[in-house]
Amino acid sequence: MTEMSSATIADVAKRAGVSSATVSRVINRNYPVATSTRERVEAAIAELGYVANAHARALAGSTNRTVGIIINDVVDPFYAYIARGVEREATVHGRLCMVCCTQGSHEKELALIDLLHEQRADAVILVGGAHEDRAYAAEVGRRARALHTAGSTLVLCGRPSLGDDVPTKVVEYDNEGGAFAITDYLITQGHRRILFLGGPPSLSTTIARLAGHRRALEMRGLAQAKELVHTGSFNRRFGYDKVRALLAEGLDFTAIFAANDTVAAGVMQALELAGVSVPEEISVVGYDDVPVAQELRPQLTTVRIPLEEMGRQAVRLALGVAGESDYLAPVQTTTRVGTSIVVRGSVAPPR
């Protein structure tokens, strides 16, 4: 309590009158130690306020008992829910969780993978859609291999695989299917002219959602009007601005499929301001089912993604936790979770 630097295992050993090996065994409970000795050691630990040094441990042993997660932004609920799943599942497996944010920068993302590798994280979980970019993908691939060589795992969570020759694990959700389902829902409600709004055009997430949307239109024999697709970004502002502009220019549509709930919130605000009632005049749907969907009035019909579950799956996959009956199966490398529509009050048949 009074010394300026922490007690080491050797200090504890001296105080308890044993060797450091014995102290280590008491701490790790991985080897029989006489009860009396154990008690003496435990007393010494308490008296000295000894706290093990995780680095020395990681160096001597092998694993650091840590998992890393790389996301865009902790404040964004989409990422926050996944992070929560990762954190909780990591805790279940006795791991600490290092959360890193890229703020959307590829460079930072790559640097963070390296940093987490240096920390010898048991797993590095990369969350969120990826932009199409060969050079970038190659860099990620290189790091996946390095991690693999070092006995760790890169998990892609919510983005497509890098190919069979890159040693990653992946947790997917049915992005395309959700978009298909909700578009089809809109169509069965009678909508024919549906505005697709938002999402960075080169992001895998946007591409998949748009693909599902188009497939539904095609299946119902509807033409895909070019003027009805406006990609851009995932923020609220985009939804707001775009709807105001499109309304002003008099574009004809009866429903809006916002690429995510945040965009939908902007859309609803613009509609409110323009005096357009939802769902009577215009129907609106979103994607993700984050809390804002339930704050909106009317509440938003959207596609639910089991975000927290994805986070949990990512760490299970990485840590190789056995699934149901796969003790003979090859190591599992991909998990896919489903999406589902959540019907609330923002959709009605067109007038």
> Considering the rule CB under 7 A, would residue 46 count as an interface residue with DNA?
no
325: Cβ–Cβ under 8 A, 6 or more apart, which residues? Answer: none
> Considering the rule CB under 7 A, would residue 17 count as an interface residue with DNA?
yes
Q: Smallest gap, in angstroms, from Cβ of residue 51 to DNA?
A: 7
What mask, x for binding a second copy by CB under 8 A, covers residues 142 to 181? x--xx--xxx------------------------------
Q: Which run of H or of E encompasses 335?
A: strand 334-337
Binding part of the chain for a second copy, among 115-123, 132-140, 154-162, 237-245 by CB under 8 A, reads 115-123
Q: Which is nearer to a second copy, 19 or 63 (CB)?
A: 63
d(CA 163, CA 191): 38
Which CA distances in Å does 282 have to 11, 184, 323, 349? Answer: 73, 16, 45, 9
Identified binder of DNA from the candidate list 2, 5, 149, 325, rule CB under 7 A: 5
Pick what 21 binds: DNA, a second copy, none; C-beta below 5 to 8 Å, kind-dependent.
DNA
Q: Which is nearer to DNA, 13 or 186 (CB)?
A: 13
Pick what 73 binds: a second copy, DNA, none; C-beta below 5 to 8 Å, kind-dependent.
a second copy
d(CA 227, CA 328): 53
> Considering the rule CB under 7 A, would residue 64 count as an interface residue with DNA?
no
Burial class (CB in 10 A: 0-12, 13-18, 19+), 351: exposed
Q: Which run of H or of E encompasses 311?
A: helix 307-319
When computed from its CA atoms, the radius of gyration of the chain, rounded to whole angstroms, is 26
User: Could you check whether the bond before residue 77 is cis, i.e. omega within 30 degrees of 0?
Assistant: no
Of 134, 236, 254, 237, give the one whose Cα is nearest residue 195.
254
N-to-C CA span, the chain: 76
Footprint on this chain of DNA (rule: CB under 7 A)? 5-6, 8-10, 17-22, 24-25, 27-28, 30-34, 36-37, 50, 52-53, 56-57, 59-61
Footprint on this chain of a second copy (rule: CB under 8 A)? 1-6, 49, 51-59, 64, 66, 73-75, 77, 80-81, 83-84, 87-88, 91, 96-101, 114-120, 142, 145-146, 149-151, 265, 291-292, 295-297
